[in-house]
Amino acid sequence: MGPLCFDRGYGPFRWVCLSLDPADLTATDTAAAGCIDPGRCRQDRDNYHWVCSAGKNDLVVGSQARILYSDATGRVRIALAFNDLVRRGRIGPVIIGRDHHDVSGADSPYRETSNIRDGSNVMAEMAFHCWAGNAARG
């Protein structure tokens, strides 16, 4: 995964809509999609597709939150777009942070991969990456 994501500075970027209003999450999805150029690189194309489709896949369990992998430029652009929405009173407050990247947090059948109808909801890719990476590194 290094050359594909992490060597380019792509990492987890999380936001939580404190209003708990699903409309705020929809607005942040739209704002985030507007900050991503799907033609820039493969990662951005995937991020654009993911954030545009997230609302259709019923990914929310509990808080109105998303996790998106982005580079530093993308994180700044998205954060500024969220700040603008909050400043103009279009949405309530949003917490922006980095998420951890671990196996137990990424394979929950009730979170990130649940209900995605492209077949990936039955995959344990993060667990696979963890053991394979650890084995390769000794």
Find all residues with CB under 8 Å of 14, minimum gap 6, and list them: 65, 66, 67, 68, 96, 97, 98, 99
pLDDT value at position 42?
84
pLDDT tens digit sequence for 13-65 = 889 899 989 999 999 999 999 999 999 888 889 889 989 998 888 767 668 88
Name the residue type at position 121.
N
pLDDT value at position 55?
87
pLDDT value at position 131?
67
For the chain, percent of residues with pLDDT exceeding 70: 63
Q: What is the average pLDDT score of the chain?
A: 77
For 20-29, 61-70, 126-135, which range has the lowest pLDDT when averaged over its residues? 126-135
Whose structure tokens read 């019923």? Answer: 58
